[in-house]
Amino acid sequence: MLQTERFRLGVVLSPVLSFITSSVTEDDVQRDAIEARRFIGGQVLSDYSLAKNLNAGMHYLYSRGIEESTFRNMHFIRFTTRLSNIAVLDEWTVTLNSQVYYLRIDEKEGAYFSPSAVLAKRGFPFSLSAMINRAFRTDVPGDTFLWSASVIYSY
């Protein structure tokens, strides 16, 4: 990892396992089995501090599927911004994150936008988080709009 006061750059190479349930037949009996799919992956991550509470970054991830039954090449690139610890009330803060990303899995691709927010009280272990994920355009299978809300416990 390369790190200065305002900039960080990291490179990661790793094996990855993904597990799925599939049907197998043994001695003429069909049953479910857990199958491991293997990938090799690498990523480059960067983050730059523009101001005290404002960061911007980029993340590139490549993954190569080893088995023929899975995808062969996946490219993921995202650009992020984070505005953190914005005082909103006495001891309450908000952190706003946004990311625009591109995903390509073999011949299918899509572009997406995903903002999120975290509301926290200083010195209190619980916080609230909400995020949405919206596709600009995509032919990657899956929902084009997702959202979630969470209660986070930090100890």
Percent of the chain with pLDDT over 90: 85
Q: Is 119 a member of any domain?
A: yes
pLDDT value of position 97: 98
Model confidence pLDDT, tens digit, residues 1-33: 899 999 999 999 999 999 999 888 888 899 999
Amino acid 24: pLDDT: 87
Whether residue 28 is contained in a domain is answered as no
Q: How much is the pLDDT for 110? A: 97
For the chain, the domain total comes to: 1
The answer to whether residue 130 sits within a structural domain is yes
Written in H, E and C, the secondary structure of the chain is CEECCCEEEEEEEEEEEEEEEEEEEECCEEEEEEEEEEEEEEEEEEEEEEECCEEEEEEEEEEEECCCCCCCEEEEEEEEEEEEEEECCCCEEEEEEEEEEEEEECCEEEEEEEEEEEEEECCCCEEEEEEEEEEEEECCCCCCEEEEEEEEECC
Mean pLDDT of 130-139: 96
What's residue 27's pLDDT? 87
Contact 87, 65 (CB under 8 A): no
Tell me if 74 is assigned to some domain.
Answer: yes
In a domain, 26, yes or no: no
**Residue 134's domain spans which residues?**
2-17+37-153
pLDDT: which is higher, 81 or 22: 81
In a domain, 30, yes or no: no
**Res 139: pLDDT:** 95
Lowest mean pLDDT among 31-40, 96-105, 130-139: 31-40
Q: Determine, yes or no, domain membership for 29.
A: no
Give the residue from 138, 130, 82, 143 showing the smallest Cα distance to 112: 138
Predicted pLDDT at 26: 86
Q: How far apart are CA 76 and CA 116, in angstroms?
A: 19
Tell me the pLDDT band of 69, cut-offs 50, 70 and 90: confident
Each residue's pLDDT tens digit, 137-150: 999 999 999 999 99
* In a domain? residue 54: yes
The pTM (predicted TM-score) of the whole model is 0.83
Asked whether the predicted pLDDT for residue 68 surpasses 90, the reply is no
